[in-house]
Amino acid sequence: MREPRFTAPPDGRLTADMRTAYARTGFLVLEGYRSAAACDAVSARAADLIAAFDPATVSTVFAADSNAHTRDAYFLGSGDKIRFFLEPGAFDAAGRPRVAKERALNKIGHALHDLDPVFDGFSRGADLAATAADIGLIDPVLMQSMLIFKQPRIGAEVGLHQDATFLHSDPVSCTGFWFALEDADESNGCLIGLAGAHRQGLKERSHFVDGRIVKTRLDDTPFTGVEMALPAPKGTLVLLHGLAPHRSTANSSDRSRWAYALHAHDRATRWSDDNWLKRDAGMALRGF
């Protein structure tokens, strides 16, 4: 299957070939969607946020392969805040940090796009609105944002999953807008997608019940499809259909792999109230 890779259109409008590639694979890689300067500006802002962050105030280690965070109030309350999550590999067996705090973070989430003006500006614009419309989103709103670090040597793998497991609606409308803030390739843990498998239904649902997250298996049929690495030079936008299975490997390189991921929900579909992500009722949802 041909790789769904194109040079980003300057106005965000997708060509018929781009729309076809997205429909066929569940992914679309648009190189040069954001300028290097724009990536540097949000990375610099992130560095300021990290400088002001005191790791002693949190204890949440985010491990995609562990469920510890699913009962953690700091994580569960982060839907409408800017919170910091630590990388398990950054600590020794006694819980002491092995690296400096800027190298110990797994991610920052989940409302950078609404609470920080620099991230707000990066997350919105007529180009993104056009791209969202061209992949069929009718009334998209930005539900969450994550700055994902994938630290050199310790950035952990993220197993195969579908984003709609966590951000569910009926019908599924969750769509990932994943920006490479640095060059991402197979040595520092770029995305790897299972092309075409977004047409095989949702395999797992995550529900927020009685103060904790529980997962329900919906379908035990294994995915079939062709795995496709999606290397992304700095400034690339990778669109991810909410049902598209994807993963990333551990970062085995000496380079970090900063990425900024937005997830949109289409208000033309019904948001599932048992999603984990909660927002203050006074914090209005906004689109692109």
Sheet holding 175-180, edge to edge: 5-7, 27-31, 237-241, 175-180, 259-266, 140-148, 105-110, 82-86
User: What distance in Å separates the CA atoms of residue 174 and residue 232, rounded to the nearest whole number?
Assistant: 21
Smallest distance from Fe ion to CB 191, Å: 8
Pick 18 or 167: Cβ nearer Fe ion: 167
Closer CB to Fe ion, 23 or 64, in the complex = 64
Taking the complex as a whole, how short is the minimal distance between the CB of residue 126 and Fe ion, in angstroms? 26
Closest distance to Fe ion from the beta carbon of 95 (Å): 28
Report the residue number, 163 or 266, with the smaller CB distance to Fe ion: 163
Give dist(CA 82, CA 109) in Å, integer: 5
Provide, rounded to whole angstroms, the least separation between the CB of residue 216 and Fe ion. Answer: 18
Nearer to Fe ion, 132 or 192 (CB): 192
Measure Cα distances from 180 to 12, 168, 245, 258 in Å.
17, 25, 19, 7
Of the two residues 86 and 240, which places its CB atom closer to Fe ion in the complex? 240
Closest to Fe ion by CB, 114 vs 163, is: 163
Closest residue to Fe ion using C-beta atoms: 163
Write down the least CB distance from residue 159 to Fe ion, Å.
10
Separation of alpha carbons 252 and 72, rounded Å: 29
Of 39 and 148, nearer to Fe ion (C-beta) is 148
Q: Which long-range contacts (CB under 8 A, 24 or more apart) does 9-18 make?
A: 10/127, 11/126, 11/127, 11/130, 12/125, 12/126, 12/127, 12/128, 12/129, 12/130, 12/131, 12/134, 13/130, 13/131, 13/134, 14/130, 14/131, 14/134, 14/135, 18/134
26 token code pair: 């569940």
- In whole angstroms, the minimum distance from the beta carbon of 163 to Fe ion comes to 5
- Report whether 279 contacts 186 (CB < 8 A): no
Q: Which residues bind Fe ion (CB under 5 A)?
A: 163
Question: How far apart are CB 110 and Fe ion at their closest, in Å?
Answer: 13
- For 123, the token pair is 């997350």
